[in-house]
Structure 1
Amino acid sequence: MKRITTAAITAGAFAGAGVAASLLRRQRIVQRRRHLGGDAPFGSVRGDRYTVEAADGVAINVEVDEPDPDGDADLTIVFVHGWMCDQDTWHFQRLHLRGSARLVFVDQRGHGASGASSATGSSLAHLADDLARVIREHGKGRVVVVGHSMGGMATMQLAADHPELFGGTVVGVALVGTSAGRLMRGTPALERMAWLVRRAGPVLDWGRAFNSESVIRRWAVGPDADPARAAMVDEMIARAPSRVVVDFYPNFPSLDLFEALSTLADVPVTVVCGTADLLTPPKHSRRLAEAIDGARLVLVEGAGHMVMLEKPREVDDAIDDLIGQVG
C-alpha cells in the first residue's frame, strides 16, 4: 500500500532611457502589489476567460489579466503549468505581477478547465502546438513564456517545433522545475510512478485518495514546506482527473529535448529549481543552464517541485529579473 500511495503523485545590462523608464514603472507596480497584502484565497483569482481550439478540436482554457493603465501593454507573460496541475500553480505570481503586463494563464489539455485529451493526443508535440496557438491568439507584443515541469517541457518542445518564434515573438523564457531528458534515471518518484502506471485502473483513484497529504509532503514539496502551501498543492492535484496520469506519463521515459536548447539561447533564459526537488532534481536544472548559452540558474534553498507555491518571493524575483532583461 505504501508503494501505491507513494507513487500516486508523482544579460546583460539595460540599455537606453526607454528600458530604464519601463523598469521603474514596473517596479512601482510591483511594490504596490506587494503592499496589497495579497494572499487571496487559493483558486479565487480569475481573469477574462477564453477558449483556444487545438488542432484536434480540444478546447484549451485560457485566462487573461489585462495590464493596468500604467502597466506594460506591449508585454505578455504566458504561464504554463505542469503535469496533474492547473493554472492556479501560478497563484502568487499572478498576484505579484497583476496589472504590470498582460498575463496569460493556460490550462493544458486534459487539465483544469480545458477539454479532455486522450492517450494518443497527450504528447509534448500536442502541448507545444496548443501553446503556439495560445501565443498567436493572445500574445500581444513581446512574449515571455514561464513553464513549470511539463509546462517547461512543452516550452522546449515549442522551441524545437517553432524555432522562428524565439528571438522574434518570444523574447524570454523561464523554465521552472523541469528537465530536457534523462528524467527516469535515478529519480525514485518517477520510477515508482512507472510501477503504478503499468497497473493503472481503479487502484489509481484509490491510491490518489488515500492519505494524499502525506504523498504531497513527501514528493511534491520540500521537507520544511509551510503546511498551508502543501495544502494548496494537495487541493490542486486532487482536482486533476486520474486519466492524465496514464495519458501523459509516456512523455517522460523517452524525454529528449536537448536539441531544442540551442534555440532557447536566442533569448534570455532563467532556470529555477528547488534544492529539495525530488521529481526534477537540481541536476536537471544545472544541465539546462549549462546547455543554454547565457542562461541564469536560480536554486531556491529547501524548496521542492512546487517551488512557485512554496517560495513565491524567490520565484517572483527570478521572473522580475528576467522581465528586466527583455526590457
Structure 2
Amino acid sequence: MASTTDSEVRPARRKTARRAGIFSAIVGVAVAGVAAGVAAERMLVRRSRRQDDPFASEPFGKLACDEELTVTRPDGVDLHVELLKSETGPDDLTVVFVHGFCLDMGTFHFQRRAFEGRYRMVFYDQPGHGRSGRLEEGEYTLESLADGLAAVIEATAPTGRIVLVGHSMGGMTIMALAEKNVRLFAERVAGVALISTSAGNLDKVTFGLPEVVAKFRHPLMPLVRNAGKITVAMVDRARKASTDLAWLLTRRYGFGTEYPSPALVSYVERMNSATSAEVIARYVRTLYTHARLLALAALRTVPVLIVCGDVDLLTPLAHSHEICEALPGSELVVVENGGHVALLEHADEVNAALGSFLRRVS
C-alpha cells in the first residue's frame, strides 16, 4: 500500500485551510449583509410610519354587528359569520362578502362602514382564516370553499335575492360556486362583484419580479405544499421575528401608492401574519391550479362588476381584462395606483363603483 508523505499532506492542509477561510469570509459577508438589510428595513419602516396618517385612529377589526353565528361546512369546519341588518334598503336582498387569501372579513372594513344600514350584509371568515376553524388534515380546495359559501347563504339568506362580492380568493370561491350550482345563479343571484381576482393562470404571475427570478417559484411549490409541522413552525417563528420585513413586503405587494397609510399597511400585515404557514401551505395547490374561465358562463345571466387596481402584483389587471372578455356585458372599473387591496387603499373609488352597482341591481 502506498504511504502518504509529509510533503503531500502539507499542500492538502493549506488547501483545506484556504477553503475554510473562504467559507468563513462568505459567511461573514452574508451575516453582515443580513444585519445591514435588517437595519435598513427598520429605518425604512420607521420613516414610513412617521408620516401623517389619516387612519391612525381607525377602529380596524373592531366594527360591531347585529348578529354573530357559527355555520358548519359539510366537512365539519366551523365558519365565523357576522350579519348586519338593513334599515333603509330592500328587505329581500342580501349582500354576501367573501374575503381573500391570508386575510379575513376585515378586508371589507370600509365597505361595511359605507353600506351599513343600507343593505342587509353578511361577512364571514374563510376556513383557516380569522375566527373560523381549520381542517384537521388534507388540503383546502376551492370546491370546499364553495361548499362553505353555499352553507353561509343557506344559513343567513335561505330565500330572496343575493349579491356576491368576492375579493381575490373570495372571487375564485364565487366562481367555484357558479361551477357547482348554476341554478342558484340563474334563480337567486342578482349580481356579482369581483374585486382583484383571477379566473386562472396564477402560476404564471411574476409578482413584479424579473422572469429569471420568478421562474424559480415552480420548483418551490411542492416544497411548500409538503412542508412538515416542524418546518412551518420555524417559518411562523421567522415571520414573527422579522415583523419590519413583513410590514415592508405587505406594503410592496398589497398597495399601489408610494406612501400608503401606515396604519392601513399594519392592519393588512396583521391579517397576513395571523394566517399560519401551515394553512398557507395547504392552500397553495388549489390556488395555483385554479382554472375557471369556462365556469364564468354561469355569470352571463347576472350583472357583473369587475374592479382591479392598475398596479396589482398578485392578481394583475390582465386577469380582470380576461374575465371581462369572457363576460361581454360586465363592467370593468380600473383603480389608478391601486394594489391588491385596492378596496382598502382606495376605498372611496371602490365604494362608489360598488354603491352604483348595488343600486342598479337592487
Q: Normalising to structure 2: TM-score of the pair?
A: 0.76
Q: Is the 8 A contact 1:93 1:316 kept in 2?
A: yes
Give the 5 Å matches for 1:120-269.
120-139=138-157, 140-188=159-207, 195=220, 198-199=223-224, 200=227, 201=231, 202-209=233-240, 210=242, 211-224=245-258, 225-269=260-304
2:252 is matched by which residue type in structure 1? R
- Encode CA deviations 1:284-306: one digit per residue, 9 max, x unaligned: 00100111131111110101101
1:207 positional shift: 4.3
Deviation at 1:141, TM superposition (A): 2.0
Aligned in 2, Cα 1:103/1:326: closer, same or farther, shift over 3 Å?
A: same
Q: What does the per-residue CA deviation read over 1:120-168, in whole Å, with 9 as the maximum and x for residues that have no partner?
A: 3510000001101111121252100000111100000000000101132
User: 1:192 deviation in Å?
Assistant: 6.6
The structure whose RCO (Cα within 8 Å, separation 6+) is larger is 1
Moved more, 115-124 or 227-236: 115-124
**Contact 1:119–1:246 (CA under 8 A) maintained in structure 2:** no
Gaps of 5+ in 1: 6-36
Q: Distance in 2 between matches of 1:192 and 1:59?
A: 36
Q: Structure 1's 249 and 135: CA in aligned 2 closer, same or farther, altered over 3 A?
A: same
Query: Is residue 250–residue 265 contact of structure 2 (8 Å, CA) maintained in 1?
Result: yes
Counterpart residue identity of residue 204, structure 1: V
Partners in 1 of 2:287 and 2:132 — Cα distance? 22
Greater C-alpha Rg: 2
Q: How does 1:1-327 map to 2 (within 5 A)?
A: 40-47=58-65, 48-68=67-87, 70-118=88-136, 120-139=138-157, 140-188=159-207, 195=220, 198-199=223-224, 200=227, 201=231, 202-209=233-240, 210=242, 211-224=245-258, 225-327=260-362
- Paired amino acid for 2:64: R
Give 1 or 2: higher helix fraction. Answer: 2
Q: Distance in 1 between matches of 2:205 and 2:117?
A: 42
RMSD over equivalenced CA pairs, Å:
2.3
- Percent identity reads 39
Map Cα deviations across residues 257-285 of structure 1 (whole Å, 9 max, x no partner).
Answer: 01111111110001111111100000000
2: CA distance between counterparts of 1:192 and 1:222?
Answer: 25
Give distance in 2, aligned partners of 1:276 and 1:315: 15
Letter in 2 for 1:178: T
Cα distance change, pair 183–236 in 1 and its aligned pair in 2 (3 A): same
Alignment partners' CA distance in 1, 2:281 and 2:139: 12
* Aligned length in residues: 293
Instruction: Please give the alpha-carbon distance, in whole angstroms, between the structure 1 residues aligned to 2:70 and 2:177.
Output: 20
Shift of 1:240: 1.6
Separation in 2 of the partners of 1:321 and 1:184? 34
* 1:259–1:49 distance in 2 versus 1, CA, 3 Å: same
Mapped to 2, the partners of 1:92 and 1:98 lie a distance apart of 10
After TM superposition, the structure 1 stretch with the greater mean CA deviation from structure 2, 182-191 or 145-154, is 182-191
